[in-house]
């Protein structure tokens, strides 16, 4: 027989101690959502079932005991660390869920310069780890825009990516080993080695699981030498996205690895680079690393861009200024809330990827379909996007859309605007063989396309869920559609 809400809370208090179990209404409301429902949140409207409690976890052993308790009684849990999620991964859609907060597990366990790796608990904010490393002349190389907010567990759980990905890779390229706890309470540790061929790479069962398979408690990542004195910046304006994609492709195919390689369309470019975009697309690069490498990379980029006469260089200090103000901390989140309340105008993003032969068509088809078919297109105040992470075989497209919220209650906003716009972007991407999600995770609002995204490989995805979370207690409705 299932436990009542009061029984869940009582038994949890016995497991972790009463101080660690938070049940005040205000905390529970804010813990029932993430930034996908930021409009409703700003207006104080919460429509999802409130969790029974937020559990402040202190150790892997506690995580193990709590998961085993949930597993035994069929209680749904939503793992959380930095709470910067944007795709509904933190929404509590099941009654009497528990929010499993790992933010207090925040020790940097080891910085191992000899072996160029750092180990941190799941609740260590990336910015804290990065600052400690930089003080010693090293870097994680990971720099998502949410660096001041996000923590190591969530960064790994979402397969996050940072602004310097073209050089350092995304989080999956950085993770050496990890510790995680599975729903039956098993604590498992994947050891730190440079490489091995001992069967499939099981790190990938954990990286990107979005809390739907296991709880990440500790992470070891690679570190790199930090040499900002060698950074070189480049910026260009150009007429069209097609040329921009062609340049990005050339840079990647010729083997250059700038840390930043970004292409903005005219609308997005005007938003970010008001001081010089002049209604044009914008292409920017940063070269970094050891001096010789940074200079050779910069020279290579200049040579490639020179083959495209429509590109006009801009003063490099303009790019550096933009770069230094890119990240989002709590103050920008607060300012955004205030602005949305004042203007009723808000913005969202949807990030996808495609190979070189598809990406321009994905970009065009999405923009045209939104402009021509979205019933509330007149409320859109900005529609565009950028490519920010390139690979030898393709790139991503990060669509950005702002709109005025007109004639709808706060709780209706996502269905009137955000979800239909998301749907167009996902559908157009899947049609051309791309991936519907490049780096924010599937969350709960792209989950209806998860099977289509994976197609016949869904067999493997489903197998993981069946084996590791047979009772379906881990973040129900995230990655795996809720069949009930």
Ligand X SMILES: Cc1cc2nc3c(=O)[nH]c(=O)nc-3n(C[C@H](O)[C@H](O)[C@H](O)COP(=O)(O)OP(=O)(O)OC[C@H]3O[C@@H](n4cnc5c(N)ncnc54)[C@H](O)[C@@H]3O)c2cc1C
Is residue 395 within a helix (H) or strand (E), and if so which, with residue range?
Answer: strand 394-404
- Between 128 and 293, whose beta carbon lies closer to ligand X? 128
Do residues 380 and 374 make contact, with C-beta atoms less than 8 angstroms apart? yes
The number of beta carbons lying within 10 Å of the beta carbon of residue 334 is 10
The minimum distance between CB 105 and ligand X, in angstroms, equals: 8
The minimum distance between CB 180 and ligand X, in angstroms, equals: 7
Q: Which of 98, 118, 155, 248 binds ligand X (CB under 6 A)?
A: 155
239 among the known binding-site residues? no
Interaction with ligand X in 229-258: which residues (CB under 6 A)?
A: none
Q: Which of 39, 237, 478, 480 binds ligand X (CB under 6 A)?
A: 478
Is residue 455 within a helix (H) or strand (E), and if so which, with residue range?
Answer: none
Q: Using CB under 6 A as the criterion, what x/- string covers residues 59-98 for binding ligand X? A: -------------------xxxxxxxxx--xx--------
Q: Is 211 in the site for ligand X (CB under 6 A)?
A: yes
- Between 149 and 277, whose beta carbon lies closer to ligand X? 149
- Between 141 and 144, whose beta carbon lies closer to ligand X? 144
Q: Which of 141, 144, 244, 354 binds ligand X (CB under 6 A)?
A: 144
Q: What separation in angstroms does the CA of 47 have from each of 29, 30, 58, 239?
A: 9, 11, 30, 45
- Between 157 and 405, whose beta carbon lies closer to ligand X? 157
Q: Using CB under 6 A as the criterion, what x/- string covers residues 122-141 for binding ligand X? A: x-------------------
What is the end-to-end Cα distance of the chain in Å, rounded? 19
Q: Is 346 in the site for ligand X (CB under 6 A)?
A: no
**Stretch of residues binding ligand X (CB under 6 A), selected from 127-135, 211-219, 250-258, 291-299:** 211-219
- Between 257 and 440, whose beta carbon lies closer to ligand X? 440
Interaction with ligand X in 428-467: which residues (CB under 6 A)?
A: 439-441
Is residue 284 within a helix (H) or strand (E), and if so which, with residue range?
Answer: strand 281-287
**Position with the least CB separation from ligand X:** 154
Question: Is residue 214 classed as helix, strand or coil in its secondary structure?
Answer: coil
Q: In this structure, what token pair is assigned to residue 196?
A: 């091995």
Q: In this structure, what token pair is assigned to residue 211?
A: 């809390």
Point out the residues that are catalytic.
398
The minimum distance between CB 41 and ligand X, in angstroms, equals: 12
298 among the known binding-site residues? no
Q: Which of 3, 150, 277, 425 binds ligand X (CB under 6 A)?
A: 150
Report how far residue 246's alpha carbon sits from residue 423's, in angstroms, rounded to the nearest whole number: 27
Q: In this structure, what token pair is assigned to residue 69?
A: 């308790």
Report how far residue 145's alpha carbon sits from residue 337's, in angstroms, rounded to the nearest whole number: 18
Is the four-CA dihedral 403, 407, 411, 416 of positive or negative sign? negative
Is residue 219 within a helix (H) or strand (E), and if so which, with residue range?
Answer: strand 215-222
User: What size, in residues, is the chain?
Assistant: 484
Q: Which of 145, 230, 231, 381 binds ligand X (CB under 6 A)?
A: 145
Is the four-CA dihedral 276, 282, 288, 294 of positive or negative sign? negative
Report how far residue 407's alpha carbon sits from residue 416's, in angstroms, rounded to the nearest whole number: 10
Q: Which of 9, 157, 282, 425 binds ligand X (CB under 6 A)?
A: 157
211 among the known binding-site residues? yes
Q: Which of 158, 243, 353, 387 binds ligand X (CB under 6 A)?
A: 158
Report how far residue 81's alpha carbon sits from residue 154's, in angstroms, rounded to the nearest whole number: 6
Give the number of residues in contact with ligand X, rule: CB under 6 A. Answer: 37
267 among the known binding-site residues? no
- Between 348 and 374, whose beta carbon lies closer to ligand X? 348
Q: What is the 3-state secondary structure (H, E, C) of 316-354?
A: HHHHHHHHCCCCCCHHHHHHHHHHHHHHCEEEEEEEEEE
210 among the known binding-site residues? yes
- Between 102 and 244, whose beta carbon lies closer to ligand X? 102
337 among the known binding-site residues? yes
Q: Which of 8, 16, 31, 35 binds ligand X (CB under 6 A)?
A: 35
Q: What is the 3-state secondary structure (H, E, C) of 133-171?
A: HHHCCEECCCCCCCCCCCEHHHHHHCCCCCCCHHHHCCH
Q: In this structure, what token pair is assigned to residue 373?
A: 């078919």
Q: In this structure, what token pair is assigned to residue 152?
A: 């190591």
Q: Is 350 in the site for ligand X (CB under 6 A)?
A: no
Q: In this structure, what token pair is assigned to residue 4?
A: 């009542």
Q: Using CB under 6 A as the criterion, what x/- string covers residues 311-340 for binding ligand X? A: -----------------x------------
| Residue from 412, 362, 406 nearest 387 by CA | 362
* Helix 5-16 / helix 60-73 crossing angle, nearest 10 deg: 150
CA 474 to chain centre: 19
311 among the known binding-site residues? no
The minimum distance between CB 440 and ligand X, in angstroms, equals: 5
- Between 27 and 145, whose beta carbon lies closer to ligand X? 145
294 among the known binding-site residues? no
Is residue 272 within a helix (H) or strand (E), and if so which, with residue range?
Answer: helix 266-272
Q: What separation in angstroms does the CA of 80 have from each of 90, 233, 236, 324, 439?
A: 7, 36, 40, 28, 17
The minimum distance between CB 219 and ligand X, in angstroms, equals: 9
**Residues of the binding site:** 210-216, 337
**Residues of the binding site for substrate:** 337
**Residues of the binding site for FAD:** 210-216
Residues in touch with ligand X (CB under 6 A): 35, 78-86, 89-90, 102, 122, 144-146, 149-151, 153-155, 157-158, 160-161, 210-211, 215-216, 328, 439-441, 475, 478
């Amino acid at each position: 027989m299932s436990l009542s809400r009061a029984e869940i809370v009582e038994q949890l208090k016995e497991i972790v101690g009463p101080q660690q179990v938070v049940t005040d209404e205000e905390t529970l409301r804010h813990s029932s959502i993430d930034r996908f429902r930021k409009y409703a949140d700003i207006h104080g409207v919460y429509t999802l079932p409130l969790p029974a409690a937020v559990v402040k976890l202190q150790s892997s052993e506690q995580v193990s005991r709590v998961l085993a308790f949930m597993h035994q009684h069929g209680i749904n849990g939503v793992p959380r660390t930095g709470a910067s999620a944007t795709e509904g991964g933190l929404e509590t859609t099941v009654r009497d869920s528990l929010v499993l907060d790992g933010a207090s597990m925040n020790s940097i366990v080891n910085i191992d310069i000899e072996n160029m790796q750092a180990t941190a608990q799941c609740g260590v904010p990336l910015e804290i780890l990065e600052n400690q490393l930089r003080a010693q002349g090293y870097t994680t190389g990971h720099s998502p825009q949410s660096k001041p907010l996000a923590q190591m567990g969530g960064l790994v759980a979402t397969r996050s990516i940072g602004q310097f990905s073209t050089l350092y890779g995304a989080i999956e390229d950085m993770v050496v080993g990890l510790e995680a706890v599975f729903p039956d309470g098993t604590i498992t540790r994947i050891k730190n080695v440079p490489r091995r061929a001992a069967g499939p790479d099981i790190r990938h069962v954990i990286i990107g699981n979005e809390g739907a398979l296991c709880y990440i408690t500790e992470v070891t990542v690679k570190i790199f030498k930090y040499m900002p004195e060698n950074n070189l910046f480049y910026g260009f304006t150009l007429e069209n996205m097609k040329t921009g994609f062609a340049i990005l492709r050339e840079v990647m195919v010729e083997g250059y690895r700038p840390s930043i390689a970004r292409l903005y369309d005219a609308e997005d470019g005007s938003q970010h680079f008001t001081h010089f975009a002049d209604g044009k697309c914008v292409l920017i690069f940063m070269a970094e690393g050891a001096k010789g490498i940074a200079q050779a990379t910069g020279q290579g980029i200049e040579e490639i861009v020179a083959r495209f006469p429509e590109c006009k260089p801009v003063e490099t200090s303009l790019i550096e200024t933009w770069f230094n103000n890119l990240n989002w901390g709590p103050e920008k989140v607060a300012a955004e809330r205030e602005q949305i309340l004042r203007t009723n105008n808000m913005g969202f993003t949807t990030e996808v990827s495609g190979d070189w032969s598809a990406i321009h068509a994905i970009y065009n088809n999405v923009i045209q379909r939104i402009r021509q078919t979205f019933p509330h297109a007149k409320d859109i105040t900005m529609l565009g996007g950028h490519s920010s992470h390139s690979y030898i075989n393709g790139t991503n497209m990060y669509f950005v859309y702002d709109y005025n919220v007109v004639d709808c209650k706060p709780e209706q906003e996502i269905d009137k605007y955000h979800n239909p716009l998301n749907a167009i972007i996902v559908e157009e991407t899947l049609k051309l063989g791309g991936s519907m999600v490049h780096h924010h995770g599937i969350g709960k609002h792209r989950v209806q396309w998860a099977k289509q995204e994976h197609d016949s490989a869904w067999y493997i995805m489903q197998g993981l869920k069946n084996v590791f979370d047979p009772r379906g207690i881990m973040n129900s409705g995230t990655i795996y559609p809720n069949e009930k």
